Structure 1
Amino acid sequence: MSDIIRQPLHYLEESATGLPADVQQQPLKPDAHIVIKPNSAGANLLCPRCGNSYLHHRGVVTYDRSEDAETVLKTSVGVGKTTVHLVAQVESGNPSSRRDGLVIQFWCENCGGGDDGSSVIELTLAQHQGETEVAWRFTPMQPGD
């Protein structure tokens, strides 16, 4: 999984981004960001791979773990089925290093990220020391994609 990018979300002061006026960007570090596009109901989440707004939910994974437990109860819902497994924390995919986590999986109409189950785009929520961390996990597009 060394090619997965994990990008935490931080809200910073508004700055010149080079994006259209109706697109907001929350910069994280050079060349890494989470982008939303405002709409009448709130905002559209944009694909972290290509910037398109046509993301589709693919599934949800929850991780139920007592603090620093060696195992986690992993529940996956999506693509017409639900699975529940007790798995080792180190092999679970839990976005939290110590407690509970949640992953919302997406696929993108534009770049195809996750449409066939490979290179799934994931929005992660993790509990860590009383705080909730939000991040993206995804495989970056390769040149020519």
Structure 2
Amino acid sequence: MKITKPLSLGMLALAGLAFACGGGEKSSESAATETAAAPEPAKEISLEEKYQDDPIYIKGLEKIKASDCQSCHMVERKIVGPSYADVAAKYESTEENVAMLAQKVINGGVGNWGEVPMPAHPGLSEEDAKDMVRYVLLLKK
């Protein structure tokens, strides 16, 4: 008899704890009310999704994919060189900046983004370099 009394009290305490926690279930009525009242969070779209139909984006991306740019640069993350989004944040999309940055792509350089040099691309035409730069400057966040 002595064992059944503590065992009964333990079972009663366990049942009380389970009841107090609620079991995590909601009635369908309250769940539907909460779902309807809660606004959906805004879906963050990537820069690539944002500009996928833009002709500047399409032409520039084609030329970048055909080059060696992606071995040092990514759209939104720094690898060896700055991300395209960081470049776009630093430079306004003006024809003067497009021409200046196109020359940097063709001639290479060092110092604007640290001490890692950007190799020259002398085989790249000025028009192709400008298309690539316009694409990069389009990616401003």
- Superposition TM-score tier, normalisation by shorter sequence: under 0.3
Task: Please tell me whether Structure 1 or Structure 2 has the larger radius of gyration of its CA atoms.
Answer: 2
Question: Quick one: higher RCO (CA 8 Å, sep 6+), 1 or 2?
Answer: 2
The TM-score with structure 2 as length reference comes to 0.19
